[in-house]
Amino acid sequence: MNTLFGFTEAQVTSFGLTVGVGGLMAYMLFIIGQLAWESKAGKFGTFVLFLALGLSMVGFITKLIIEKVIEHRIDEKRAHTTPPPASAERQTPAPTSLQN
């Protein structure tokens, strides 16, 4: 099993997606705020900048939330269903001897 510092590839990828991209999104908010400050955009201009440039982040966050909800529902369904018995063969009764 390939690991990186004791973590599997799936764990490293999940961590990178949530924490790494979250950090980049926070940095993007800082850049948008600095852009609004330096251009003296005012309240409405700042709102428009954050709305227009920050809308893509809302889509990414929504995607993560939808994935977690679907994953949770799938796990619930798996917990409530019971697997079929190991031997699902039809059992026939043993023949009885014919004695008269």
**Looking at residue 1, what is its pLDDT?**
61
Predicted confidence pLDDT, tens digits, the chain (100 residues): 667 778 888 888 888 888 888 899 899 999 999 999 999 989 999 999 899 888 878 888 898 899 999 999 988 888 877 666 666 555 666 666 666 5
Measured distance CA(15)–CA(97) in Å, rounded:
69
Give the distance, in angstroms, between the CA of residue 27 and the centroid of all CA atoms in the same chain: 22
- Nearest to 18, CA basis, from 52, 56, 65, 50: 65
